[in-house]
Amino acid sequence: MSRQRIIIDTDPGVDDAIAILLALASPELEVLGITAVAGNVPLNATLANACKIVALSGRSVPVFAGAPGPLMGKQVYGRYAHVGAFSDDLMPATERQPQAESAVTFIVRQARQAVESGELLTLCAIGPMTNLALALVQDPLVSQGISRIVTMSCAFTALGHRVPWAEFNVYADPHAADVVFNSGIPLTVMPLDMTFQALVTRDHIQDFEQRGGAAGRAVAALLRRFDRSDIKRYGREGGPVHDATTIAWLLAPQLFSGVQSRIGVATSGPTAGYTWADFHCKQQEPPNADVMQTIDESGFLDLLSQRLAVYGGSET
């Protein structure tokens, strides 16, 4: 079985941390690098968090610093931006440092090498897409080195959550999303429409804590401290772990169902960041994305639990 070669572009972020730990526990994936971007919290904090997460995993995956803000327009952070970096009581301190090479240079270099070797990359975009957009603009060969972008972003049938009209990763940098959506690289999109269907409850958190070793304990601590549950919104207990669905799709695509569609984003005006999907082909434009619409919640949560247990010593 050949391992999928992936780069995770991320703004850790609690759900980013879970996605990264899931990827690093999965032998099916070869994580070439983690590229940090500003988003949930400022870049210095996403970078520090990424270093802590990789150190906690015990894997030697390089971390790179990316864009400190959007391509254009104002900077927006997540609602826990004031928290910044994960405190040591949530995730152990580490001496791990980012590489000197920038995230964009790393993405360009890896994509060019992929073209030469013929072993194309999968890019897992789970934060604002600034780094990827910069790489695509900087070097036309990049789009030839990436076989697919799996992105947690967009809201098509669901309301936004940071603002009513937009999902956060797109809202934080709509221009970058526009560059990525029009890059010609095949897209797999995990929108809020689907990620809101899979909720982690207190019982799951306890399971991660009991079976997942130090990583499981950190995940449990993060989920409890930055509670995402919203019984009014979801109608039941639990909170989403948006980003982890991208890795779960790479590992078990059968847990998802979706449709092909043309997607796009508004980049200006009062609803900048609004994303649309032409599910009924009204514009007669070819699809540019596979949009995931459903998730097998129990299958996803079982996969998450099983893989986090790897950090507690169990086999995959």
213 is an interface residue for ligand RIB by CB under 6 A:
no
* Site stretch for Ca ion (CB under 5 A), options 12-20, 139-147, 217-225, 294-302: 12-20
Please identify which residue in 4, 7, 9, 13 interacts with ligand RIB, judged by CB under 6 A: 13
* Site stretch for ligand RIB (CB under 6 A), options 8-16, 60-68, 230-238, 283-291: 8-16
126 is an interface residue for ligand RIB by CB under 6 A:
yes
Please identify which residue in 66, 70, 127, 258 interacts with Ca ion, judged by CB under 5 A: 127
222 to 261, contacts with ligand RIB by CB under 6 A?
A: 242-243
3-state SS, one letter per residue, for the chain? CCCEEEEEEECCCHHHHHHHHHHHCCCCEEEEEEEECCCCCCHHHHHHHHHHHHHHHCCCCCEEECCCCCCCCCCCCCCCHHHCCCCCCCCCCCCCCCCCCEHHHHHHHHHHHHHHHCCCEEEEECCCCHHHHHHHHHCCCHHHHEEEEEEECCCCCCCCCCECCECHHHHHCHHHHHHHHCCCCCEEEECHHHHCCCEECHHHHHHHHHHCHHHHHHHHHHHHHCCCCCHHHHCCCCEECCCHHHHHHHHCHHHEEEEEECEEECCCCCCCCCEEECCCCCCCCCCCEEEEEEECHHHHHHHHHHHHHHHHCCCC
CB 258 within 8 A of CB 279: no
168 is an interface residue for ligand RIB by CB under 6 A:
yes
Residue 183 near which of Ca ion, ligand RIB, none (CB within 5-8 Å, type-dependent): none
290 is an interface residue for ligand RIB by CB under 6 A:
no
152 is an interface residue for ligand RIB by CB under 6 A:
yes
175 is catalytic: no
**Catalytic residue selected from 161, 175, 204, 242:** 242
Shortest CB 167 distance to Ca ion, Å: 11
127 is an interface residue for ligand RIB by CB under 6 A:
yes
For Ca ion, give the closer residue by CB, 172 or 308: 172
13 is an interface residue for Ca ion by CB under 5 A:
yes
Footprint of ligand RIB (CB under 6 A): 11, 13, 15-16, 39-40, 78, 126-127, 152, 167-169, 242-243
Residues labelled as active-site residues? 242
Binding site for Ca ion (CB under 5 A): 11, 13, 16, 126-127, 243
